[in-house]
Amino acid sequence: MEKLLEIKNLKVQYNTDEAVVYALNDFSLDLNKGEILGVVGETGAGKTTMALSIMKLLPEHVAEVTGGNITYNGQDVFKMSKKELRALRGAEISMIFQDPMTSLNPVMTVGDQINEVLKIHHPDMSKQTRAEKVAEILTLVGIPPERGAQFPHQFSGGMKQRVVIAMALVAEPNLLLADEPTTALDVTIQAQILMLMKELQKKFGTSMILITHDLGIVAEFCENVAVVYGGEVIERGSVEQVFARTKNHPYTDSLFKCIPDLTTDATRLTPIPGFVLDSRTAPVGCPFAERCQKATERCVQVKPSIHYVEDGHYIKCHLYENEVGK
C-alpha cells in the first residue's frame, strides 16, 4: 500500500513563561492512502498537537518543533515554502475542528466561508460554478442550499459542524483530519455527524485521521487505531487486532476496563490510577510507567521500543520484547 503521510520521531514542545511542555516525544505514525485511522488518547496526550503539526498550524512563537519530520506524499511539510503550505492546506489536507461554535467566522455567511476555500484553491473557477459547488456540498451535508446566505449564529451546533464538514470537503482533499468532531455536540447529534462523515469519506475516497477519546467511535468508524499516551504512539494495529484484547499495551488495556460492559455482572469500572502525565518534565523511560501496574524499574529508566506482536500490530512496551511479529 502506498504511504500518504509519514510522521517520523516528531518532537514538539510548547515554551510558555512558566514551563516547557513536552507535547510530542518521538511521535511516529504512518498513514496509507484511503486508510481511516482512529487516534485515541486522553486529553493532553498530544492528539491535537499532532493534527496541527501536519498542517504546520501550530501556534507561532509558542510551539517549537525540536526534531523529526512529517512527509506528505513524499514532500517534507516542514521544508515547504509559505506558498506550498497554503496550497496544501484546504486543498490537499483539511481539518474539522473540535468546537463548531467557535470555528466559524461570525461575521461571514456560511456560504461565503465555504466559497472562500474554492476561491483560494481554484481562482480560475467561474463565480457560477463556485456557487453551484457550494450548493452541492451543502445539500450533501444535509443543509438546504438557500441557508448558505445565513450567518453562523443562525445555525445550531450540529448544523454548524455540518457547515465545517462542508468547508473541509468542498475542495475534495486527499486527507481529512477530524479533531474530535463530535465531542462538543449532543449525543443524539454525534451519531448523525459520524454517519455523514463516513458516507462522504466513502464518496470522495478521502483518507482520514479521526482523533477521539471515545473507543466506541473508533470501533464503529475506523479500520485501524493508534493509541497515544504522553505524546507518543504506544500501540498501533487494526481495529480487530486491538479490540480482540489478546495482546495490548497495559494502557490500552486499562482504557478498555474503563468502558462499562453490560454483558457481565461487574458493577464497578476500573479507573486508571494516578493522573494524566504531567508533560512539563522531559520524558525518560515509558511515559505510562508511573501508572502501570506491571511496571518494573526498567520501565522507569529505559524507553521501550516498538515490538510487533502480530502482522501490522505493534506495542511500545517492554512486556512484549520477545514477540516475533512483523
Residues within the interface to another protein (CB under 8 A):
55, 57, 59, 61, 82, 85-91, 94-95, 97, 99, 102-108, 116-117, 120-121, 151, 153, 164, 167
Nearer to another protein, 25 or 182 (CB): 182
Q: Which three cell numbers stand for residue 77?
A: 511539510
Closer CB to another protein, residue 90 or residue 287? 90
Question: Measured from the CB of residue 54, what is the shortest distance to another protein in angstroms?
Answer: 11
At its nearest, how many Å lie between another protein and the CB of residue 183? 14
Give the residue with the Cβ less far from another protein, 88 or 194: 88
The minimum distance between CB 171 and another protein, in angstroms, equals 8
Q: How far is the C-alpha of 254 from the C-alpha of 248, rounded, in Å?
A: 9
Min CB(73)–another protein separation in Å: 16
Q: Please, which residue, 97 or 251, has the CB nearer to another protein?
A: 97
- DSSP secondary structure of 108-170: S-HHHHHHHHHHHH-TTS-HHHHHHHHHHHHHHTT--GGGGGS-GGGS-HHHHHHHHHHHHHT
The candidate with the shortest Cα–Cα distance to 67, out of 148, 146, 7, is 7
For residue 16, the minimal CB distance to another protein (Å) is: 13
DSSP state of 202: H
Q: How far is CA 276 from CA 232, 290, 324, in A?
A: 14, 10, 31
Q: Please, which residue, 24 or 167, has the CB nearer to another protein?
A: 167
Burial per residue of 124-133, b for 16 or more beta-carbon CB atoms within 10 angstroms, e otherwise = eeeeeebeeb
Q: Which residues contact 263 (CB under 8 A, 6 or more apart)?
A: none
